[in-house]
Structure 1
Amino acid sequence: MSDTRSGSGYVEGEFERDTDYIEDRITADGSSPWPVEPGRYRLIAARACPWANRSIIVRRLLGLESAISMGLAGPTHDERSWTFDLDPDGRDPVLGYERLQEAFLARDPEYSRGITVPAMVDVPSGQVVTNDFPQITLDFSTQWTAHHRAGAPDLYPEPLRDEMDEVMQRIYTEINNGVYRCGFSNDQKAYDKAYDRLFTALDWVSDRLADRRYLMGDTITEADVRLFTTLARFDAVYHGHFKCNRQKLTELPVLWAYARDLFQTPGFGDTIDFPQIKEHYYVVHADINPTQIIPQGPDTSVWLTPHGREELGGSPFGDGTPPGPVAADEEVPDDHGPGGIGHR
């Protein structure tokens, strides 16, 4: 999902996100024109974007790297599209595209909706299949099971799905999108309402996590992935840039310990690129930050401090195992992680 106002609107000063996505699905049972097929599809994501970061985490936790290749757009984009400026010659090495927009136009030459990440692209045709970000990750869990790694966690367990769906919906509307509702409010009344909604929801998840290690109990689920990508950006971006400043994450004891617990779990923190995150928000949102100056802080080495959540019991992967080392070509640069250059 793109982090700009493009395709979004306002009602009485309140930010409303455009959710008009291509809703095709890649399925294992032949119910769609797009069958599960290892090597056929390419996930296009961006480390800067919280919505795309979810797909990077879920792909890694489930061990789908060999089945679904990944291309990464750079942290900034213009009004047209995310671009592949991190790659040699500025082109995705598999698709040959300079802009993600090309995959959308290959699908529909008249396409006029948002060009967003994450997106699944059919490599043979070069066409985008879907950019329906919440469904993409659920389908990784439910449609690609034949290609999960041994020991992969069940991120969307059937007995919990009804409750999970309710929890994830509230996290999306009130927290994931809530920080944007604060940042892009068009008047004081809308901002005040958005601020109250956001921190009411943060208090709710804090209470929920006070006596359980993860949102749904003793093991990680997709609900934790969805909350984590917002928490990881909170102090670096949302607290100041989006005026979500009742407290920093580091001042919310339960959520700060929970966020560090996940960050230090393989598959979570090893996908986070703080310099790209800050560059994206502070440069792309020039209407909020006209100087486009990127702050040096905060110190991210604190993400590696002890969290103490083990005392609550549970195990992140249950009876499974953590994912192995990050593939060499998908590692976050050493100087982009906690304690690295630019994080002091």
Structure 2
Amino acid sequence: MTSQDSPTADHSTSGAYVKAGEEFDRDMDYIPDRITRDSEHWPVEPGRYRLVAAKACPWANRAIIVRQLLGLEDVISLGLTGPTHDRRSWTFDLDPGGVDPVLGYERLQQAYFARFPDYPKGITVPAMVDVPTKQVVTNDFPWITHDFFFEWKQYHRPDAPDLWPEDLREEMEAVMKRVFTEINNGVYRCGFAGSQSAYESAYDRLWDTMDWLEERLADRRFLMGDAITEADVRLFTTLARFDAVYHGHFKCNRTKLTEMPNLWGYARDLFQTPGFGENTDFDQIKAHYYVVHTDINPTQIVPKGPDPAVWLTPHGREKV
């Protein structure tokens, strides 16, 4: 998710805004650096990097979940921003004094400017920050979780899940591409559509894929079979926000998640798996979307529902 104070910026995630007459177009141009085992500048090194994320943000929430699933908590530290921000940057208002205790920053923007003084784009989470220099390394969220699995493998806990099973990778890449295009990004295309036709096109594409997922999950417990993979993490963070935000706020209102038996059981199955539910904060999620998106919700009133207790009800997916 992004924030940026330029009025002409493409606020393609958290600071996104409706452009009259236009379709929503996500800016996917991120800092391309990666932290890898053989990198000269950014080598894998326990304790060197800090993941800065926000539980409110679905893209950042992925990284938080994967970090815990793999057992990387002791080698990559975690800094959490608050759920809302201004047009300049995400801020560390959850920490005492509003300052990140490791970086000493009030704003994530400071880590970006420490490396790129004239950084022209949005200040996004998740971001990997080099603690010694306090400079941002990368904000390329698909690669961050990919590299948590492949590049940090020697530091995984012994029973860490195989999030990228070799025999399923080709099919998984295709599934993840469709999930990203039509679901993860599809809800934003609905919410930030600038015309009726753009909205209806986005809506139809979203529900075509939601129906495809409902059918796919009828005879398999998870997206790729009987074990959790990266594909499930990527889908989960959108499903967790669906009824609370996307159904009403983004006008994705054909059906509630709770009315789709397979997807709803699947989502609860993941939520009740260690790493998922405890990193899902519905109050932060609702505060973020309903307060920050003032062009969609100018009153900034945050809804009280739905009741999060439904996520703890039996899911029955063990039978699949």
Q: Give the TM-score category using the shorter length.
A: over 0.9
Q: Secondary structure at the match of 2:248?
A: helix
Counterpart amino acid of residue 201 in structure 1: T
- Which residue in 2 is equivalent to 1:7? 10
Contact kept, 8 Å, 1:24 with 1:32, in 2: the verdict is: no
Matches within 5 A, 1:108-119: 108-119=116-127
Residue 18 of structure 1, aligned match among 1, 13, 27? 27
Work out the CA distance in 2 between the residues paired with 1:32 and 1:159: 31
User: Do the aligned partners of residues 95 and 112 (structure 1) sit closer, same or farther apart at CA in structure 2, a change above 3 Å counting?
Assistant: same
Contact kept, 8 Å, 2:3 with 2:88, in 1: the verdict is: no
| Cα offset, 1:31, TM superposition | 3.6
Contact kept, 8 Å, 1:47 with 1:271, in 2: the verdict is: yes
TM score, norm. by length of structure 1? 0.88
Work out the CA distance in 2 between the residues paired with 1:231 and 1:201: 13
Work out the CA distance in 2 between the residues paired with 1:250 and 1:131: 33
Contact kept, 8 Å, 1:13 with 1:190, in 2: the verdict is: yes
Matches within 5 A, 1:32-71: 32-71=40-79
Q: Secondary structure at the match of 1:243?
A: coil
Count of aligned residue pairs for this structure pair:
311
**Structure 1: tracts of 5 or more residues without a match:** 313-344
Work out the CA distance in 1 between the residues paired with 2:51 and 2:75: 10
* CA-atom RMSD in angstroms: 1.4
Work out the CA distance in 2 between the residues paired with 1:3 and 1:124: 25
Matches within 5 A, 1:204-283: 204-283=212-291
Contact kept, 8 Å, 1:26 with 1:32, in 2: the verdict is: no
Q: Secondary structure at the match of 1:240?
A: coil
- Which residue in 1 is equivalent to 2:136? 128
Contact kept, 8 Å, 1:82 with 1:101, in 2: the verdict is: yes
Contact kept, 8 Å, 2:125 with 2:139, in 1: the verdict is: yes
- Which residue in 2 is equivalent to 1:73? 81
* Deviation digits for residues 34-92 of structure 1 (CA, Å, limit 9, x no counterpart): 00000000000000000000000000000000000000000001111000011011110
- Which residue in 2 is equivalent to 1:191? 199
* Deviation digits for residues 194-217 of structure 1 (CA, Å, limit 9, x no counterpart): 000000011111111110000011
| Cα offset, 1:3, TM superposition | 7.5
Residue 93 of structure 1, aligned match among 86, 98, 101? 101
Work out the CA distance in 2 between the residues paired with 1:183 and 1:191: 8
Work out the CA distance in 2 between the residues paired with 1:158 and 1:94: 37
| Cα offset, 1:23, TM superposition | 1.0
Counterpart amino acid of residue 214 in structure 2: S
| Cα offset, 1:160, TM superposition | 1.4
Contact kept, 8 Å, 2:3 with 2:86, in 1: the verdict is: no
* Deviation digits for residues 218-249 of structure 1 (CA, Å, limit 9, x no counterpart): 10000000000000000000000000000010
Residue 165 of structure 1, aligned match among 173, 178, 186? 173
Counterpart amino acid of residue 191 in structure 2: G
Counterpart amino acid of residue 2 in structure 1: T
Contact kept, 8 Å, 2:50 with 2:129, in 1: the verdict is: yes
* Deviation digits for residues 279-322 of structure 1 (CA, Å, limit 9, x no counterpart): 0000000110000000000111111111110001xxxxxxxxxx
| Cα offset, 1:114, TM superposition | 1.1
- Superposition misfits of 4+ residues, deviation over 4 angstroms: 3-6, 8-12
Work out the CA distance in 2 between the residues paired with 1:148 and 1:257: 29
TM score, norm. by length of structure 2? 0.95
Counterpart amino acid of residue 295 in structure 1: P
* Deviation digits for residues 236-280 of structure 1 (CA, Å, limit 9, x no counterpart): 000000000000100111100100011011111111101000000
Deviates more, 1:176-185 or 1:8-17: 8-17
| Cα offset, 1:2, TM superposition | 2.4
Work out the CA distance in 1 between the residues paired with 2:177 and 2:225: 18
